[in-house]
Chains A and B, each alone.
Chain A
């Protein structure tokens, strides 16, 4: 027996041992090794493989409970209705009214800055202003980008 045949025989033995007797369970690129007439050296291994296949076939197929789909969607997905309520209110406001708070805050900041500069107060305050916390009430806030009524509801 030449070296190629020995290797093929050994590989066939490994396939029976790992994947069973049914070549449908073997790696696709190795199914060509299957033969109806089992080589004599492998008869016992093939027979054992076939018996284990039969034992495994006795086991029932688990059936998933049907109600999981809705339960899982409810559990996992964010509620679109609550987001829609918030966004619908937000979107119903005219665009100018939506921008009013931001514009007002910016104007207020500008006014404060001008006053500080004119009064000469900023020269003393600036180091402590830089070191202190930012007052978020004076920072212009845009509506968050991730609030999107149209795509969040899955309609």
Chain B
């Protein structure tokens, strides 16, 4: 079938090289918050934490691969906002700035860590355990977590920012200090690696997902 008919006439081909400035909507009152932060307003700091801590913590947790150091990294990101609010150029993009700082702090932390042994998976040889949906789900969760942990750090970070936290590709590119094309390359490679981690049981997984 002719794709022109499928998509309708006059295809305005999207240009990935020129995406809009930001895909995240501006944070209402972000400029005001930044001004108040510059004046060392503690209530502004509390407001910043209330608005953004959960997301910053999730980013740290997922990039680090678990709770260890996640809280510390998240706190450090907010301490940077408090001690040097002048580094935040745009009050409407405080969230993106925090995401970038948390990502880089987490990546730095990973570089300093010693490699750890992979997490143990639950034993599924027991047929009764295999029949338990909850156990199978937990086992799959552990396998996916292990595959995520095995990804190169920047691939995992790209996946966390774009897939899990919904950052636009421009924001993610700024957070990682790369181009939009590089972000897409990181994402594609991450997904390919995840698929390969389950390559030997791909069909089995398709069936399993229909059952879970």
A8 touches B11 (CB 8 A): yes
How many A-B pairs have beta carbons closer than 8 Å: the answer is 152
Given contacts A51-B202, A68-B53, contact A62 B70 (CB under 8 A): yes
Chain A residues with a Cβ closer than 8 Å to the other chain, count: 52
A151 at the interface (CB under 8 A from B): yes
- Of B92-100, B113-121, B122-130, B187-195, the one contacting chain A is B187-195
Q: Which residues of A contact B57 (CB under 8 A)?
A: 62, 64-65, 68
Those of A12-41 within 8 Å (CB) of chain B: 14, 17-20, 25, 27-30, 32-33, 35, 37, 39
Interface of B is mostly: helix
A66-106 Cβ-contact flags toward B at 8 Å (1 or 0): 00110111011110100000000000000000000000000
Interface of A is mostly: helix
Q: Which residues of A contact B144 (CB under 8 A)?
A: 55-56, 58-59
B133 at the interface (CB under 8 A from A): no
Determine which of B23, B67, B137 lies in contact with A62 in the assembled complex, contact meaning CB atoms within 8 Å. Answer: B67
- 12 A-B interface contacts by CB (under 8 A): A1-B2, A11-B16, A14-B184, A19-B162, A27-B169, A28-B23, A55-B194, A55-B205, A60-B141, A62-B62, A62-B67, A64-B58
